[in-house]
Amino acid sequence: MKRLMCMFLMGLISAQTLKTALPQPKEPFVLTYYDIREDILLKTPHGKITVDFFINERGEVEDPVIKDTFNINLNEVVLDKLKETSYYPATQNGRPVRIKYTLPIVFK
């Protein structure tokens, strides 16, 4: 039991000493009304879309997937715009790492 507790505490201490930084966008994600057809916006002008994706070591977006949407007609526009964005990658102990990211997009 003492060994198990000691291993648990060592793991906890080493996990706390890791220095991590979350990814930051190089430019803000902006989806304008010019990117979306007007007839789509008139049907459902407000709601929320949630997108899961990975940011690789170079800050590029990989494998975006729509997790929740209020209008399926907007999904393709959101995915195309998201693939154009780039990030400063997340780092762990000073080295860039791949990370899973969730982005909520709110239409008002």
What are the sequence ranges of the domains in the chain? 2-107
Distance CA 27, CA 37 (A): 24
Residue 61 predicted with pLDDT over 90 = yes
The pTM assigned to this predicted structure is 0.71
Please state which of the ranges 19-28, 39-48, 52-61, 73-82 shows the lowest mean pLDDT: 39-48
Question: Which helix (H) or strand (E) covers residue 53, if one does?
Answer: strand 47-55
For position 8, what pLDDT does the model report? 55
Q: Does residue 17 or residue 84 have the better pLDDT?
A: 84
**Residue range 46-65: average pLDDT?**
93
Q: Which two tokens stand for residue 55?
A: 């940011």
CA torsion sign for 79, 31, 51, 98 is positive
Residue 6 predicted with pLDDT over 60 = no
For position 106, what pLDDT does the model report? 87
Q: Does residue 22 or residue 37 have the better pLDDT?
A: 22
For position 9, what pLDDT does the model report? 56
Tell me yes or no: is domain 2-107 CATH 2.60.120.200.
no
Exposed/middle/buried for residue 51 (C-beta within 10 Å: 0-12, 13-18, 19+): buried
The CA-atom distances, in angstroms, between 47 and each of 10, 64, 76, 93 are: 45, 19, 16, 38
38 phi/psi in degrees, rounded to 5:
-65, -35
Distance CA 86, CA 32 (A): 18
Residue 79 predicted with pLDDT over 70 = yes
Please state which of the ranges 10-19, 47-56, 97-106 shows the lowest mean pLDDT: 10-19
